[in-house]
Chain A
Amino acid sequence: GQQVMQIPQYQHVQEGEDFTTYCNSSTTLSNIQWYKQRPGGHPVFLIQLVKSGEVKKQKRLTFQFGEAKKNSSLHITATQTTDVGTYFCAGRGGATNKLIFGTGTLLAVQP
């Protein structure tokens, strides 16, 4: 069945360093969503990408959707302690068009 893999599983950075998480799907996606889950919290929707090659920015966060619509990335510039949490991608596609969540990347930021 459809799978959505995320790497890395865990990343520890110093405050001010950049961070990137990558999402790869086994099938072509119609869209991809990104969510952030703070420690002890629940996933909160960040953004949705729909078009091939699409790039969207939210302040220090840059989201990309691959040309083949099978991968995506989230890049954070100059991380802050408020960025800590788990970042999930969720892709919709495959025969069932169901939303499949990636395994998540846990980001730790050391002050």
Chain B
Amino acid sequence: DVKVTQSSRYLVKRTGEKVFLECVQDMDHENMFWYRQDPGLGLRLIYFSYDVKMKEKGDIPEGYSVSREKKERFSLILESASTNQTSMYLCASRPGPAPYTFGSGTRLTVV
């Protein structure tokens, strides 16, 4: 089975801090994605990547950046965390057009 591992299950950070969320997949998938999930809003795409060193903005990229230096790792960066970035963050990967495999999620609280 494909495993998508997110480094932290729960995270509490202070406003203004730089936050790194890490995601690693073990199946050599080209495509990786970062979503945030909020009640009543579903899953919203922040950034995605189709290859190493390649990134594209999703629907809500403001306040975020990403890094993909290696194929298996896709990092989400909150440059200066704000309280409105308190959310569940989900990483996903897939080979080609196949369905997603999601990680377990990181629940981030910004205080």
Number of interface residues of A (CB under 8 A): 19
In the complex, what's the smallest C-beta–C-beta distance from B94 to chain A, in angstroms?
9
Bound-state CA distance A31–B37 (Å) is 22
Flag whether A102 is at the interface (Cβ < 8 A): yes
B103 x A42 contact (CB < 8 A): yes
With contact pairs A42-B90, A43-B90 given, residues A102 and B42 touching in the complex (Cβ less than 8 Å): yes
Q: Determine the distance from Cα of A35 to Cα of B41 in the docked complex, in whole angstroms.
A: 15
Query: How many residues on chain B are close to A (CB under 8 Å)?
Result: 16
Is B42's CB under 8 angstroms from A101's CB? yes
Q: Decide if B45 touches A43 in the complex (CB within 8 Å).
A: no
Cβ–Cβ < 8 Å partners of A48 in chain B: 99
CB distance from B45 to the nearest CB of A (A): 7
State the CA gap A48–B44 with chains docked (Å).
20
Contact B42 A43 (CB under 8 A): no
Among A38-62, those with CB < 8 Å from B are 41-45, 48
Cross-chain contact A43 with B100 (CB below 8 angstroms) = yes
In Å, the complex CA distance between A41 and B37 comes to: 12
The answer to whether A103 touches B41 (Cβ under 8 A) is yes
Which B residues lie within 8 Å of A35 (CB)? Answer: 100
Interface: A104 (CB within 8 A): yes
Interface string of A71-105 (1 = CB under 8 A from B): 00000000000000000101000000011011110
For residue A47, which residue of chain B has the nearest CB? B99
Interchain nearest-CB distance for A88 vs B (Å):
7
B-side residues, CB < 8 A to A, are: 35, 40-45, 59, 90, 99-105
If A43-B43, A43-B102 are given as contacts, then 9 extra A-B residue pairs at C-beta distance below 8 Å, sorted by A number, are: A9-B40, A33-B99, A41-B104, A42-B102, A42-B105, A43-B90, A45-B99, A99-B100, A101-B44
